[in-house]
């Protein structure tokens, strides 16, 4: 006979947090949102990878490209570059993120003295860089002959066929550093000499790196930047259980920091086979999450298979129709609460803490705090990030309002059949093609969201996510109290901030 779960499957809107005692130190500026990303021996060591804020962007074509990854890492979160694209293109996106922000950047825009201004303009439009290194062979490791920036030519007067050798700032006029210089010393040279770019060369004058003033200034504006030990942005990447033997090596070579199996359902032998192959090939050096699951059994299975984190949620995404189509899934709050208990149980038994990621079901910012209180170590968000300038989709005008396109990985538009275990093609859809209201820049929105989370945590007397999970008090709410919780029994002004 089938097993019946008689308790209702609940979601975030059915819960509220009850405030707790807050002392004088419990103010938003004292709240830390740092959280572990991958498994570790809690109490004996720190997680090898941690987030500064508990937000990751979903493994979706409409969400996580290289621009999103750079913008989110700058704020302390992480993007997982979508895997439903050719391996070479996904790896190129990862490389772009890893090369974008570093104390020492390997130059990816180089020309020779024989190239023309027209070549320079074309390269600038393709790469987006304002300074181009000129080397003897046009490579990033060639002999440095000069630099060309926008100050070296005038669009209205310099002919397009002018060789770069005639307009570049020659090596003899450059200020440079030698390989082995520290980042602090390089920044001192930049500031003392009023430079925008400092080339770093070896003793044979071969170009090794570039150091940029903007990177120093960016770090001062973004103190929570998520950086690796070489001062490069961290970035994740999605993989599947089909072409992992080819995709994983390419992503490892591109230096992705963490991988995640992107699947509609993770309690499968396909995921075990994939994790086993990664462990047998790379040992513990490659970090990989798995999922999605909605119960204790699913978590235990993936944790015992060696997943570095486990994603929770089936059917709760705003563009997901898995529950409508197949009748499977679980309310996100119920799923998260059970999996969090399973994670803590696993830790008590083994001493190993496997972080969990809540994926789906987030509609309002306060749902994020609820998810963290219920046990999520971090969140994965699709619709939330799809609204921003940095998502890969088009901004369009619909009935007088700017919108961004947003579609699910299970939609016909995505055609991501590799996401569905055991299928050789996408035989029916589990996602829709839609629009979401355009919301502007990621930084502005994330700052507002995090301020709400920090403030709510203070209301609950918690300065860390771990404290919140230990001390939070949650209560179920009735349909009537949900109505009571919003503006009611008044006539709202159309310009009221409540509408924004």
Residues with a catalytic annotation lie at 320, 419
Pairwise CA distance, residues 173 & 181, whole Å: 20
Report yes or no: 77 and 55 within 8 Å, Cβ to Cβ: yes
Q: Give ∠ CA 173-135-256 in degrees, rounded to 5.
A: 115
Please name every residue paired with 42 in a beta bridge, in sequence order, or none if there are none: 45
How is residue 13 annotated by DSSP?
G
Pairwise CA distance, residues 336 & 453, whole Å: 18
Question: If residue 397 lies in a helix (H) or strand (E), which one and from where to where?
Answer: strand 395-398
Pairwise CA distance, residues 404 & 337, whole Å: 32
Report yes or no: 259 and 287 within 8 Å, Cβ to Cβ: yes
SS3 assignment for 86-117: CHHHHHHHHHHHHHHCCCCECCCCEECCCCEH
Token pair belonging to 498: 């409540």
Q: Give me the sign of the Cα torsion angle 414, 418, 421, 425.
A: positive
Report yes or no: 81 and 238 within 8 Å, Cβ to Cβ: yes
Pairwise CA distance, residues 270 & 417, whole Å: 14
Pairwise CA distance, residues 280 & 300, whole Å: 20
Report yes or no: 143 and 135 within 8 Å, Cβ to Cβ: yes
292 upstream amide cis, omega within 30 of 0: yes
Pairwise CA distance, residues 168 & 150, whole Å: 10
Report yes or no: 169 and 184 within 8 Å, Cβ to Cβ: no
């Amino acid at each position: 006979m089938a097993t019946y779960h008689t308790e209702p499957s609940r979601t975030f809107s059915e819960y509220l947090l009850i405030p707790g005692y807050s002392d004088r130190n419990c103010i938003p500026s004292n709240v830390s949102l740092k959280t572990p990303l991958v498994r570790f021996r809690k109490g004996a060591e720190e997680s090898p990878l941690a987030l500064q804020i508990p937000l990751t962007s979903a493994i979706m074509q409409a969400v996580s490209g290289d621009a999103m990854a750079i913008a989110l890492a700058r704020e302390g979160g992480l993007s997982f570059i979508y895997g439903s694209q050719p391996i070479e293109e996904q790896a190129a996106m990862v490389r772009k993120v890893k090369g974008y922000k570093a104390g020492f950047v390997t130059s990816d825009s180089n020309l020779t003295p024989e190239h023309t201004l027209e070549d320079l303009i074309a390269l600038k439009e393709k790469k987006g860089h304002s300074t181009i290194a000129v080397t003897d062979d046009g490579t990033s490791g060639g002999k440095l002959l000069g630099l060309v920036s926008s100050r070296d030519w005038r669009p209205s007067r310099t002919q397009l066929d002018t060789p770069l050798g005639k307009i570049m700032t020659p090596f003899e006029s450059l200020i440079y550093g030698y390989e082995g210089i520290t980042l602090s010393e390089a920044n001192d040279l930049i500031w003392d000499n009023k430079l925008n770019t400092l080339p770093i060369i070896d003793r044979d004058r071969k170009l090794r790196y570039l150091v940029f003033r903007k990177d120093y200034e960016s770090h001062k504006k973004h103190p929570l930047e998520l950086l690796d030990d070489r001062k490069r942005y961290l970035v994740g990447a999605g993989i599947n259980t089909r072409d992992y033997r080819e995709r994983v090596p390419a992503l490892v070579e591109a230096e992705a920091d963490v991988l995640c199996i992107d699947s509609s359902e993770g309690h499968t032998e396909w995921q075990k086979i994939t994790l086993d192959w990664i462990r047998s090939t790379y040992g513990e050096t490659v970090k990989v999450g798995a999922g999605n699951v909605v119960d204790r059994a699913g978590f235990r299975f993936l944790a015992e298979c060696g997943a570095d984190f486990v994603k929770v949620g089936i059917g709760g995404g705003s563009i997901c129709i898995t529950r409508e189509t197949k009748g499977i899934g679980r309310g996100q709050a119920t799923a998260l609460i059970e999996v969090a208990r399973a994670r803590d149980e696993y830790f008590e038994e083994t001493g190993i803490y496997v972080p969990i990621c809540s994926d789906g079901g987030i509609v309002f910012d306060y749902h994020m705090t609820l998810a963290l209180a219920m046990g999520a170590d971090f969140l994965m968000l699709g619709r939330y990030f799809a609204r921003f300038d940095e998502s890969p989709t088009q901004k369009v005008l619909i009935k007088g309002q700017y919108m961004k396109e947003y579609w699910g990985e299970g939609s016909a538009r995505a055609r991501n059949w590799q996401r569905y275990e055991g299928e050789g093609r996408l035989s029916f859809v589990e996602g829709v093609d839609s629009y979401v209201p355009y919301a502007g820049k990621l930084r502005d929105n994330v700052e507002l969201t995090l301020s709400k989370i920090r403030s709510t945590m203070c209301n609950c007397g918690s300065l860390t996510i771990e404290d919140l999970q230990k001390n939070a008090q949650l209560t179920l709410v009735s349909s009537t109290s949900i109505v009571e919780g919003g503006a009611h029994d008044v006539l709202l002004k159309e310009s009221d901030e409540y509408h924004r």
